[in-house]
Chain A
């Protein structure tokens, strides 16, 4: 068996793994078969694929891969990742929900947190209704792959009229001693007039081989519900030897209903390759969607944010702000699509992408795309890329600041517009601390 897959392509490895393991995977086999069929047709995208030409996932998916854990973290290592002291914590280690380290019992009324496996076992009607209904397997090969091969993840349900004040922190932690592909999958359902704050952090620790984490989260926000969502992608900072091992493909598929408010924040602080596909479908009137992002890249990192905001009904507002600081030979990509459908009159849709390029060898690709089919709308988009402003640096130096602290202050000022959108104070502090460390290295 080992020798048979040694020479095969990763796509073939995935297909053969699916065939041998599918009887043991949970849930609807028909759905999985359909998804695998779609993955087989789409394949792993290469440079010819318009949506992936700057992010060569195919180039890193070379060699031999495992599809389940070959190594575990110690409890102490996991404990260290719980940077929010007052939160409901969910641990997903190498794509598997760890019940013993997660808060899934004694939860407040109206809040359910359990593994996908348990959600299936308990015949949860909410889970049945929403699972795999929004992320379209034919839209993207990694949605297809995740849908076909996922083994576990978390199901979170906030029942009607329930307000969960404490944040829920989902920690995805990966570690491997052999090259591994994992496909964690989450479903979050916030019912009518309910409220929740959910943080997903992604960490790769103590690894000696490549990990490709193909994570997918579907989020359903019902009428008048309010949800704040945060993604903290900090993939390989804890690697002692500085090897590049954390690869993250992160799909977030959101559906919003009438009068709901959803704010999402994506902080990409490290990681060899991070690709975010964020899609928000605004399927109702008077919806508000806020999309914020900050990426700090260096070395040979590749960070790619693809966002899609789909205005389907009238009277909705979307606001998008992504900012990046690019250093070294790294590449950052921002691709922001906004669809305003024919029925979506009185839409307000704003988008902005701003970048600072610190090095000659860094690359930024920015592509705003607006497709507007309604005639009574207000939409704007803008993109800018520049260096740190020399006049500002001189002004600060003329007051006694070293060039290093002048640069740090300016980078901090640039990032703060995004960091200030974080509404959970301890989380904001944590992010501040993280980016401060990154700026120390840069200046």
Chain B
């Protein structure tokens, strides 16, 4: 589904990603772990299409198309979803209006009619339940005055509404207490299918207790330095990131 080859990306002339290679197939869950500053969030931002990052080299193919050629909105319309590490507050724009606009623009892109108001409401209620989001929050402005946990849950709620093929969760676990973490993980697990794939970007392995990855990659200094299965995450947690640094030196 997603093939990243030798991806180099920089911001303000500083190279952050220094040749990433990654292959993801439908139905798989990949975890990307790494210390602060290793390039995890940059990778997510480049895949979502943030224009501040310059891609100097490399290729990203998604479902046979050149992902980097697409505008951010067309990536979303093709089924790429980024759950933001820091979701943006948008006062004055209601969650409901925002999602309705998003869904209908995605449908228009696919040549479909706008969704009937009744169907939209049915879906809204169903997906709210999935992430145990308070109905009051959906009628409020996007993320405005939400707690950290509510913002993260709102990201997963949006993901549920948009039903992406490739979901990228950028540190969705950070700042979540264990109860909120379980709710978020449960939501993600329920959305998993043989046709979609998930990339989980995280600093700690705790989320991986709840969303079991098929592959774990360790990102260090802009490169994937080690790949393995879920045991790698446990080893990393036990030994700390220093063990990677040692291994690279050796």
What residues make up the interface of A, taking CB atoms closer than 8 Å to B? 391-392, 394-403, 405, 409-410, 412-414, 416-417
Contacts and interface: CB of A to CB of B under 8 A. Distances in A.
B92 A414 contact: yes
A412 B162 contact: no
Chain B contact residues: helix, strand, loop or mixed: helix
Contacts of B77: 400
B170 to A, nearest CB: 11
A397 B49 CA distance: 9
Contacts of A414: 92
Interface string B75-106: 11100011010011011110001110111011
A399 B109 contact: no
B72 A397 contact: yes
Contacts of A394: 50, 72
B238 to A, nearest CB: 35
Contact of B98 (A403, A409, A417): A409
Nearest to A416: B92
Chain A contact residues: helix, strand, loop or mixed: helix
B123 to A, nearest CB: 15
A412 B72 CA distance: 22
Given A402-B73, A416-B92, 4 more contacts: A400-B109, A412-B92, A413-B91, A413-B93
A435 to B, nearest CB: 13
Contacts of B49: 397-398
The 7 A-B pairs with the shortest beta carbon distances in the complex, nearest first, are A413-B92, A400-B76, A395-B88, A397-B72, A400-B106, A399-B102, A397-B73
Contacts of B102: 396, 399-401
Given A399-B162, A400-B109, A405 B92 contact: no
Contacts of A391: 88
Nearest to B71: A397
A396 B92 contact: no
A398 B44 CA distance: 12
Nearest to A406: B73
Contact of A409 (B72, B82, B101, B106): B101
Contacts of B9: none
Contacts of A417: 92
A391 to B, nearest CB: 5
Interface residues of B, number: 30
A398 B48 contact: yes
A399 B160 CA distance: 12
B62 to A, nearest CB: 15
Contacts of B75: 398
Task: Give the one of A399, A405, A410 with max B CB within 10 A.
Answer: A399
Given A395-B84, A396-B98, A398-B48, A403 B73 contact: yes
Given A398-B82, A399-B98, A399-B158, A392 B76 contact: no
Contacts of A402: 73, 105
Task: Give the one of A395, A400, A409, A417 with max B CB within 10 A.
Answer: A400
Contacts of A397: 49, 71-73, 76
A415 to B, nearest CB: 8
Given A400-B106, A409-B101, A395 B76 contact: no
Contacts of A396: 90, 98, 102
B80 to A, nearest CB: 9
A416 B82 CA distance: 28
A399 B93 contact: no
Nearest to A395: B88
A400 B71 CA distance: 10
B73 A392 contact: no
9 contacts: A395-B88, A397-B73, A398-B73, A398-B84, A409-B93, A409-B98, A410-B93, A414-B92, A417-B92
A414 B101 CA distance: 17
B39 to A, nearest CB: 19
Given A394-B50, A394-B72, A395-B87, A400 B92 contact: no
B190 to A, nearest CB: 20
A395 B90 contact: yes
B162 A400 contact: yes
Nearest to B144: A413
Contacts of B109: 400
Nearest to B107: A400
A163 B168 CA distance: 59
Interface in B10-69: 48-50
B105 A392 contact: no
Contacts of A403: 73
A367 to B, nearest CB: 25
Contacts of A409: 93, 97-98, 101
Contacts of B162: 399-400
A296 to B, nearest CB: 16
B76 A398 contact: yes
A392 B88 CA distance: 6
Nearest to B84: A395
Contacts of A410: 90, 93
B73 A401 contact: yes
A182 B71 CA distance: 53
Contacts of B103: 400
Contacts of B105: 400-402, 405
Nearest to A399: B102
A405 B88 contact: no
Contacts of B101: 401, 405, 409
Given A394-B50, A405-B105, A409-B98, A399 B92 contact: no
Interface in B154-186: 158, 162
A108 to B, nearest CB: 38
A405 B101 CA distance: 8
A398 B158 CA distance: 11
A417 B91 CA distance: 10
